[in-house]
Structure 1
Amino acid sequence: MSNLSEYLPFIIPLVIIEIALAVAALIHVLKHPNYRFGNKVMWIIVVLIFEFIGPIVYFTIGRGDE
């Protein structure tokens, strides 16, 4: 248990960043109808299943033009 408390200052910001990215990606997926690849359901699954990498992949290659 002492090892976990040593890493908490590093883990907590990563969790907050991951949650913020996932929420931002989900809001964007739900509000915008066009994507470069795939469809809305596929991107929701990617964002939720691949938690840290999914939102980054969506914002880099999946998001369509505004």
Structure 2
Amino acid sequence: MELHYGIKDLKDIDFMVFLPIVLPVMAVGAILVFLALFDLYRHRKTRENALIWMVVILFVNTLGPILYFVIGRKESKRL
């Protein structure tokens, strides 16, 4: 009994079937990253830890921009 898959098994998979599922998720993630970076750039003077937020937005895929919009925007209320 073989419990793992090899390269030969991957060649048999039709990856185009997954494209309609994967593309919208990637597009939403890219839009969230762009909007979060744009907002961070617009308010860079009033944000603390702007560099840290930029790293979080870029490297924590879809969750990074969501965290920025939920947590990161609240810290700039002290104008």
Confirm or deny a common fold (TM above 0.5). Answer: yes
Distance 2:46 2:72 in 1: 9
* C-alpha RMSD of matched pairs (Å): 1.7
2:31 maps to a residue whose letter is A
Unaligned runs of 5+ in 2: 1-12
For residues 16-59 of structure 1, give each alpha carbon's deviation from its aligned partner in whole angstroms, at most 9, with x where no partner exists.
Answer: 10000000000011111334xx5110000000010111000000
The structure carrying a bigger helix percent of its residues is 1
Aligned identity (percent) is 30
The TM-score, its normalising length taken from structure 2, stands at 0.71
Instruction: Answer yes or no: is 1:15 the counterpart of 2:26.
Output: yes
Q: Which residue of 1 aligns with 2:46?
A: 34
Question: Larger Rg: 1 or 2?
Answer: 2
Report runs of 4+ in structure 1 exceeding 4 Å deviation. Answer: none
Count of aligned residue pairs for this structure pair: 63
Name which structure has the greater RCO, CA cutoff 8 Å, separation 6+. Answer: 1
